Structure 1
Amino acid sequence: VDAFGEVATSLRRSGNLADMLGTTIVMADLLIQQGRLRDAQRACEDALRLAAEQGEPVPQSTADLHVAVSELLRERSDLPAAREQLLIGQALGERASLPENRYRWFAAMSRIDEAEGRLDDALDALGAAERLYRPGFFPEVRPLAAMKARLWIKQGRLGDAQGWADSQGLATTDAPGYLREFDHLTLARLSIARHTSDPQAGSLDATAALLDRLLEAADAGGRAGRVNEILVLQTLAHAAAGNTDLALRPLARALAQAEPEGYVRLFLDEGEPMAALLRTAADEGIAPDYARGLSAAFVREDDPGASARPLAETLSERELHVLRLLATELSGPEIARELYVSVNTLRTHTRHIFGKLEVTNRADAIRRAEKLGLV
């Protein structure tokens, strides 16, 4: 991260904007691995502002930056805004994207489809990503084949997912390695799903041991983003084995680390087992505001028309988008331009947000939103 940050600064000073934008995408990927979602989004949005200032022709990699922002918005569960970013990138055309990055548009769309419950559409999008995939200069640490296996697991196609694991030569006894970390986490997901569908098929001891080794390696490497996922899987494994008390221990750490960065889909993507654990965590006083906010988000997903208790219920996706921009250093007119709305429309959104958060100014709204894990 330090090296790419220095390179990006040097390229910017020398006027090499195209390469600076491409470097920013790589740096954002690394920041996400570190669990630094805010820094990643800030880097991408700063780069997009520089690209906009240049005007036509649109610099190469501009579309790729919109894809990167889309993935960050998806993690915050602002799905309409995430899709909007992809459509903006698509409208810019292939000239605004590096050839080795074009598959990422479809991979990001797949993740949005998955979050919206359209698993068949998600698989179709991954198929398109596979057809476009070209090896780049950097290792692929989130392989498309493993992403497909995760969708099969969600669909209950455990035999297909096991076929993928066998083809990759994966085993719960493997030593951890960064380049296979995503694969091993996918294998752990498969093991948990198998145990859930048939608890008599065997224990999860080997899977728990694998997750312990992966956690140690990710901690040592400073990969807090991966640590968060491992903690979530440890939580689900303990819960699947009937050990709720043990499950709350990694969940408490995951909530503590995820709350400042505004993670949402990290938990929502795990479905009802995680929803139940979050309710228990809130009752036990474990990050209660954050856990309740996430629980309310589950309610909103299951029934978008339902009244979702204090705040998560009341803020629309558009208002959440505005709230996130209010948490930046952008001025009101700059936020209005970012949203393609008038200043008066922005004021209306802001007034509604303040009322729902029970605050009277921007600073208090940001503090309230941070406490609740919304920004």
Structure 2
Amino acid sequence: MINQSFRQWGLYASLIIVGGAIGVASHAYWMQGQLSEALQSYEEFYGSEPITANSRSGSVNFIAQAVQEVGSAVVRIDATKDLYSQDMSSPLFKRFFDQDIPSFEPDVEQGTGSGFILSSDGRLITNAHVVEGSSMVKVTLKDGQVFDGKVIGIDELTDIAVIKIEANNLPTAKLGSAEALIPGEWAIAIGNPLGFDNTVTIGIISALDRPSAQVGIPDKRVRFIQTDAAINPGNSGGPLLNVRGEVIGLNTAIRTDAQGLGFAIPIETAQRIAEQLFLKGKADHPYLGIRMLTLNGEGKERVKEYFSDSMGDISDEQGVLVVGVVEDSPAAIADLREGDIIQKVGDRKVYTAIEVQEAVENSVIGQVLLVEVKRQDKMVMLKVRPTNFPLTY
């Protein structure tokens, strides 16, 4: 009986070992597949010959090569912000202190962030929160050169800022595209987290199109790339790269209540806003003045919260439901109403609130934007003239 028990125990143990070996082998096979795909992309872009410059091992993997491609264009930004400012010649000070006005040393707050160079003549991009309120910005290149940086423009709605330094023949970052990204792709972050300059971390694209409210910054107007590449304070403003060393995003946000989550602004958004900031010091954000709800499974369940049973059967409806219209807004002036289901914006068919926002964002302030809605089983075409987004809204 005892021998039989030992034989059974040995059989179970063997099964556990075999099962564990199969699991390890499966994981190794999956990792090998992931690396093979990355190396294939690497070879297609760089060629099959190993890069040996500045390499101790005689070859450079795709991560190191991507970093070499853009690393010299990543900068450190040190910003000094005045926390206390007071006009010492004001009547209040003269009355209170008579003529014996004391001298004050203003309190300052110093912060460090990242950025990258867009043009060889010294145009840089970073996050607005890195330089906002700064009286002085110092820009340090990877080779140690330090420049005074002038903040040309800040856009709070997208958390993007641009800086100009007086220099020429600078290395620049190659911009890629975030439009065709797929969750699971490699992602590489470069920046200066926690004061550790030129830090490289790697992960994957975890998700796409994360709304700002879900990320925890509802006052922004961005759909974020989510990544598990380590992003820490100081990474803000640095680039997120693909395996080819192309910038696909601008690292910007960290969820303080989670580990392994970081967020980046798609490079298309960052580039568009940067061009406007350099051109006129501000960015335009076309605005309609509506609150929307995507009519997907979850959205249809929430319709009852807004309209009770007045909407009738919406099980087969598609589009974006208008659940609120701001008084005196462009939408209100154009007679857009609660209960309308948006079908098209301009010439673009829309299915989600994000798609509506993108279509509006790409419109022109003051020019007619056609919005097609379904209203009580009838199709209605409305002419809306977007205005600039009110920052006080």
Q: Same fold (TM over 0.5)?
A: no
Q: Tell me the TM-score normalized by structure 1.
A: 0.23
> Which of these two proteins has the greater Rg computed from alpha carbons?
2
Report the structure, 1 or 2, having the larger helix content.
1
Q: Tell me the TM-score normalized by structure 2.
A: 0.23
Report the structure, 1 or 2, having the larger strand content.
2
